[in-house]
Structure 1
Amino acid sequence: METGLVLLLLLAPFVGFLTNIFLGKQLGKNASGYLGSLAVIVSFVVTTVFFLQVSETKQPITVHLFDWIALDKFSVNFDILLDQLSLLWLMFVTGIGSLIHIYSISYMHDDINMHKFFGYLNLFIFFMITLVVGSNLLIMFIGWEGVGLCSYLLIGFWYKNQDYNDAAKKAFIMNRIGDLGFLIGIFIIGYVFNTLDFMTIKQEIMAGHATANLAWLGIATMCLFIGACGKSAQIPLYTWLPDAMAGPTPVSALIHAATMVTAGIFMITRLNFLFDLTPDVQTVIATVGVATSLLAASIGLMQNDIKKVLAYSTVSQLGLMFLALGLGAYEVAVFHVITHAFFKACLFLGSGSVIHALHGEQDMRRMGGLKGVMKITFITFLIATLAISGIPPFAGFFSKDEILMVAFHKDKTLWVLAAIASIMTAFYMFRLLYLTFFKEFRGTEEQKHHLHESPALITFPLIVLGILSAVGGALSLPGNSWLNNYLQPIFAHKTHAEHHLDNTAYMLMGLAVVGALVGIAIAYSKYIKKGEVPAEDDQITGFANVVYQKYHVDESYMRIFVKPIYFIAKFSRDYIETGLSNVVFGFGNVAAELSLQGKKLQNGNIGFYLFAFVFGLCSVVFYLFFLR
């Protein structure tokens, strides 16, 4: 029974992918959309069944599907592990994934390749489920690479635009850089433990058998962290994520909210017992996390594309999650992953609703005055904005406050930097809200004439996500955390998240709220009271232009890495390769001549093909029976 349900959980999206790719055009647009949505809903229902079972029994479920690799002392089985961590992740991956699929039915209705879009979405969910439920690093790596491939397909879905293709390639290549580190880490762990199975490695570490290999483990965890930097967009591999906005808005919500970008946090949390042995690497993780959060938040202050603001917001929030991971507060990082999934999915889908109403307009300087026309979109967007800004009692307040509290007790410098990033978040998110929904409409008369609230298939997911953004903090209330108790079996250490509500805790909560209110007040003063509108691109000067141009990091990467690689490749092609093949060794001419003669055999004569087949078969038989 369990095996059947596990296969249904895993394969339902894959069957949806195959059906949409091969039969989607014949089924029609609406049918392909509903089929793709149903496939993910089935996975969500099965996940809920397992989630309730494990919540009651407190025992993980392991399902052996088949033996996979057996090499001397090293073996890898294709097993599925459904424990507290994987099921929690699956709940919001499949749950929010289902809402995004439903949203996409209406959003992508006019696209000629709608069936392909839902096929790719289903394949993405399939690989994300594979990443989460695998019982060892090799299965995780399959899902890890799979979501990278699907992100390429989805970001470049509108492939007739070359800029979108470039964004897709950028995401794919930068993820491959991180993935190389992840792969090296897997090899080292396999060498040290003779296994890649999570539970076996944990048992070895708990038994004290890993202390002799701490140097190797330090290298391994650093390599794994590099992999996480690529997938979860941390310095220096973060620049792909804002460019991923080239994809349709549902793709932005799926990648940036609850799935792909959280893979790095999931991997480190899954291997928490390994990272606890390497405190120096944890320090690096915390430092990179807070630096990423601060850098991305500062860039978000000046962006005018509504989706770009949300993209840099995602990078910043991921940085806070990595700060928590580096401080050893894994359960706090997971908590922020969950609340972030709620409010960021709501924000992205809300931005898509706005873009849908404005027929593709994404520049906030061309918006304004939408709150009266798009009331549901505005209310849900407001709730999600309050949540990400850390205003109580919305979900983001509780998770962000726990991160700041942990940082305060561990390292005051990190706490100050994280608090500054949080204040910036409140400012640029309310800047986005005010410029989009308040004052007078600044678009064209034609856009103004066609302004309307989005259809029910778009607003329904917004309402659900808005509610979750409002009440999601109840998962881990200060001093009484259901989430921490639920996740306790996953962690090898005593939880760091339980802080008593003493005077220090109340002071930190108060400071966090005051900081958020300061950011909101500054935004209100500039964009409501004074009615300011951001300057046009050619009018932005000085340091503001440096921030607007994202500190020219992309241009620096182009000069330092991309152009030298192009030069070396061109030089190799024009001189080294040509010279070696044609002048020095003549290999190129030999290969060309052999291919010229060889292709003459493919002459289309069926009699000759039959003769070659019989002659070859007789030769094999003669060798086997007379010459061996």
Structure 2
Amino acid sequence: MMSSYALAHAWLIPLLPAIAFLLGGTLLRRIPYAAAWTAIIASTGSLLLALGVAGGMADGRITMAQPLIYKASWFSVPGLSADMGVYLDPLTAMMLCVVTLVSLLVQIYSLGYMAGDPGFARFYSFLSLFAASMLGLVIAANFIQMYVFWELVGLCSYLLIGYYFHKVSAREAAKKAFMTTRIGDFGLLLGILLLQLIFGTLDFAKLGLAIPAYVAQEGSALLTVVALLIFIGPVGKSGQFPLHVWLPDAMEGPTPVSALIHAATMVVAGVYLIARAYVLFHTLPAALTVIAWVGAFTALFAAVIAVTQREMKRILAYSTISQLGYMMLALGVGSLTASMFHLMTHAFFKALMFLAAGSVLHALHDTADIFKMGGLRRQMPFTFAAMAVGVIAIAGIPPFAGFYSKDEILAAAYAVSTPLYLIAVVTAFLTAFYMARLLFVAFFGEPKPENHAHESGPAMLLPLLVLGTLSVIGGYLGHAAGFGHWIYFGEAHTAPVNWLVAGTSMLVAVVAIALAWSIYGAGVIKPYQVRDRLELLYQLSYHKFYIDEAYAWLNRHIVNGFGRLLAWVDIHLVDGLVNLLASTVRASGAVLRRTETGQLQHYALVFFGAALVILLWITYAGHSLAMAWIGGGVR
């Protein structure tokens, strides 16, 4: 009964947090905890409905190939009509459960983390709008509906990253995120418009039938361009190279916001868009190749940077970029199942690590540098356990969640491309190393005298317990339930564990953790010795390969320089031409104005002068005519 009701009323899932946003921003604005509990109750309702939708998939009647779709006419103009609808299949159900669960846990956690904040009600209103926007994106039945919520997600990220708007760094980070993702959104919009021009529809179900037929008849050249334009949108939203630069700066927002952005909302929106439109990408090998290599490069690039970073949240941010690269790599090599499986497990352990980091920062009053921490495992044992679980999960140690999902990606890459597989393995080594480095430096060793850390309260620890449990068993449960039997492209499948790939990844992870312990735990290898031997690479990694500086130079010298050139053209050429025309008209008017004096004597003089001129001309002309006649007579 619950499942039937949830399937029929799935539109309530984004509507409930949207109502909480409206109430929290208006009627409950001056009653902070009422706004908070309204948001939590709304998210709880959305989670229960999402679980009901997932339960409705159990009988197998709703599948990836046979979705349940509700639609109503939204608007219609000549050449374009759009429906507002709900698109339900196992992929939608999984995303709804992940987004609502993480959103709810973040809101519960924020009761403790944001206590006493003057913008408490505003914060919860923004969280509710963020959840509503992402949930609306997930259930969208067509590209135009998805694009509306896609832009709302971008707006929410701007509002929450810049939540501490009194800080210059927060304002700049919010603007950076907003403008960088706009670049990707412009490409996405162009791709959507081209799809409309080619097929006359943006409906996912109709495109699923039309695209294969079009490729069979017309070829793939034009659609490859369209697919790559659409891919630019996820490059921006999901922090892929070279539009990844906004994601580390997004740490300026409150830590619960970081958990929400990195685990369940904005950054996974791009991966989800490609998965939802996979019928387009799967038919275009060239587009898939681009996606795979962009994902692989991003995964390795971000992992190399994370190795040398010192701020806890910034390390986690580059970890997110790297893991998103893994998800893109899986999509590029043709495994939608592996990508979505990793998206789900990553949501659990990445939200866990961000909330554990928030617990540390809350206790240490925002001391972010891990080398200014130390010995926290004794002062914050529960937080230490949560962070340790997250580190082991992301490193891919069995039976933790990351083992099953990451190894599916490695196996998919191994089956398609040896270079991509090797890049993924090296990335796995670096991931285990830098995450173990974070754990050993911050939580082991001797406590710093200036740090008086204490364990967080129940509101902050309960979400850690739930996410920690899911980070331990979530991957195994997904594998045992046959994740690929529910979420797939083409035919349902359940891939067995490739023990060659799994054994290699486990060995790589163990070696990386042991190396990190020998450097940052036991002190067998001194960090400065490694740094001195690899000084150039260290400086490149620590300064993030100077990508931000390159963009700043480009903006200052190229963009601003081009702007100054256009300003000169506007002032000296365009305005000069307009001013010349105006001056000519003004001078002509001044001359003509002198002939219109209104004095009778002046007019008489003009008439007399004109008559005299005409008389002289007639006399001269008559004389010339007479002379010509006489001359002709003489001849």
Q: Structures share a fold, TM > 0.5? A: yes
Preserved CA contact (<8 Å) 1:188 1:216: no
> Is residue 2:45 matched to residue 1:42?
yes
1:555 corresponds to which residue?
549
1:507 corresponds to which residue?
500
Larger Rg: 2
Identity of aligned residues (%): 38
> Is residue 2:566 matched to residue 1:564?
no
Instruction: Name the TM-score, length of structure 2 as normaliser.
Output: 0.86
Q: Which amino acid aligns with 1:393?
A: P
1:341 corresponds to which residue?
347
> Is residue 2:540 matched to residue 1:546?
yes
Displacement of 1:174 in angstroms is: 0.8
> Is residue 2:40 matched to residue 1:25?
no
Measure the CA separation in 1 of the matches of 2:6 and 2:390.
37
Measure the CA separation in 2 of the matches of 1:525 and 1:116.
46
2:236 corresponds to which residue?
230
Specify the SS of the correspondent of 2:456.
coil
> Is residue 2:118 matched to residue 1:121?
no
1:160 corresponds to which residue?
166
Measure the CA separation in 1 of the matches of 2:524 and 2:40.
42
Measure the CA separation in 1 of the matches of 2:272 and 2:202.
16
2:68 corresponds to which residue?
61
Measure the CA separation in 1 of the matches of 2:8 and 2:433.
49
Specify the SS of the correspondent of 1:6.
coil
Preserved CA contact (<8 Å) 2:518 2:525: no
2:268 corresponds to which residue?
262
Q: Which amino acid aligns with 1:316?
A: S
> Is residue 2:456 matched to residue 1:462?
no
Q: Which moved more, 1:561-570 or 1:391-400?
A: 561-570
Preserved CA contact (<8 Å) 1:344 1:384: yes
2:485 corresponds to which residue?
485
Q: Which amino acid aligns with 2:42?
A: A
Deviations 1:11-61 (A, max 9, x none): 11111111111133321x222221222222221111112221133352233
> Is residue 2:491 matched to residue 1:494?
yes
2:597 corresponds to which residue?
none
Deviations 1:279-305 (A, max 9, x none): 011011111111100010000000000
Preserved CA contact (<8 Å) 1:290 1:319: yes
Deviations 1:459-503 (A, max 9, x none): 0000000000000112443xx552111124xx2x235x64445xx
Displacement of 1:211 in angstroms is: 3.6
1:618 corresponds to which residue?
none
Q: Which amino acid aligns with 1:55?
A: A
**Aligned pair partner of 2:18 in 14, 21, 25:** 14
List gaps (5 residues or longer) in structure 1.
590-628
**Aligned pair partner of 1:71 in 62, 74, 78:** 78
2:227 corresponds to which residue?
221
Deviations 1:290-324 (A, max 9, x none): 11000100000000000000000000001111110
Measure the CA separation in 1 of the matches of 2:560 and 2:485.
53
**Aligned pair partner of 1:192 in 166, 173, 198:** 198
1:151 corresponds to which residue?
157
Measure the CA separation in 1 of the matches of 2:198 and 2:86.
23
Displacement of 1:581 in angstroms is: 7.3
Measure the CA separation in 2 of the matches of 1:102 and 1:31.
13
Q: Which amino acid aligns with 1:468?
A: L
List gaps (5 residues or longer) in structure 2.
583-635
Measure the CA separation in 2 of the matches of 1:375 and 1:565.
51
Displacement of 1:188 in angstroms is: 1.3
Specify the SS of the correspondent of 1:195.
coil
Displacement of 1:76 in angstroms is: 1.3
* 1:222-301 → structure 2 map (5 Å cutoff): 222-301=228-307
Cα separation, partners in 2 of 1:533 and 1:306, compared to 1, 3 Å: farther
Cα separation, partners in 2 of 1:114 and 1:580, compared to 1, 3 Å: farther
Q: Which amino acid aligns with 2:463?
A: P
**Aligned pair partner of 2:180 in 160, 163, 174:** 174
> Is residue 2:407 matched to residue 1:422?
no
Q: Which moved more, 1:191-200 or 1:575-584?
A: 575-584
Preserved CA contact (<8 Å) 1:67 1:77: yes
2:598 corresponds to which residue?
none
Cα separation, partners in 2 of 1:542 and 1:375, compared to 1, 3 Å: same
Preserved CA contact (<8 Å) 2:411 2:501: yes
Cα separation, partners in 2 of 1:298 and 1:115, compared to 1, 3 Å: same
Measure the CA separation in 1 of the matches of 2:351 and 2:222.
39
Displacement of 1:443 in angstroms is: 5.4
